[in-house]
Amino acid sequence: MAEVLPIRLYGDPVLRKKARPVTDFSGIPRLAENMLETMFEAGGVGLAGPQVGEAKRIFVAALYQDLPEEEEERVPLKKRVKETFVMVNPRITFAEGEAVGTEGCLSLPGLYSDDVPRKFRVRLEYQDEYGNPKVLEAEDYLARIVQHELDHLEGILFFDRLPPPLRKQFLEENRAELARMQKEAKAFLRELAR
Ligand code: NI
């Protein structure tokens, strides 16, 4: 059975670390499975290694079937999966176009911005959980997800991508909530160290 892992919150230093390339794939299929389970449980579209305390260059993502709002309530997210992705050592080899859109993050629960700039289309080279080389060409929503997750591997959070005045505004508007998360992240780390 896959395990649901604790998701690291804003304020946890692992979220600001540059993740290390994966060279030993022995634990990776298991980690990927647990990350997918954790993402479904949290209702997310993507989750990167650092978000579960693993500073490794891996992320998972999923596309879900759209349902009418009243059905969305009843159907568990796992039952709506159209496609899942496990990407290890990903890198963008081509990008074009500009798009501004909405993003949130499982490490910043409840916080969103509608103004996050990304490339509209990207080509990604990566390895699957067994180390096999793969290529993905994505645009629009999926391209946004993979860019957001790739940023996590560099210690970058979505609000860092906002133009400076909007970034400042985001931090000011959410100051209390961010401080609360930082406090919770610290408490989690204290507990972990015991
Ligand atoms: Ni995120």
Q: 22: domain CATH number?
A: 3.90.45.10
| Domain of 171, in residue numbers | 13-193
Q: How many residues would you count in the chain?
A: 194
Dump pLDDT digits (tens) for 47-72: 999 999 999 999 999 999 988 888 87
Q: What is the pTM of this model?
A: 0.96
Q: Considering the domain boundaries, does residue 134 fall inside one?
A: yes
Q: Considering the domain boundaries, does residue 125 fall inside one?
A: yes
159 CA to centre of ligand 1 in angstroms: 10
The answer to whether 149 is a known catalytic residue is yes
The residue with tokens 């391209």 is: 143
Of 14-23, 74-83, 123-132, 160-169, give the lowest mean pLDDT range: 74-83
Q: Considering the domain boundaries, does residue 5 fall inside one?
A: no
Q: Considering the domain boundaries, does residue 61 fall inside one?
A: yes
How many structural domains does the chain have?
1
152 CA to centre of ligand 1 in angstroms: 7
Q: Which of 37, 103, 129, 149 is catalytic?
A: 149
111 CA to centre of ligand 1 in angstroms: 11
**For residue 26, pLDDT beyond 90:** yes
Q: Considering the domain boundaries, does residue 180 fall inside one?
A: yes
87 CA to centre of ligand 1 in angstroms: 15
Q: Please give the distance of CA 77 from its chain centroid, rounded to a whole number.
A: 17
Q: Rounded mean pLDDT of the chain?
A: 96
Q: What is the DSSP string of 100-165?
A: EEEEE-TTSTT-EEEEEEEEEEEEEEEE-TTS-EEEEEEEHHHHHHHHHHHHHHTT--GGGGS-HH
Q: Considering the domain boundaries, does residue 1 fall inside one?
A: no
Range 9-13 average pLDDT: 98
The pLDDT value recorded for residue 71 is 81
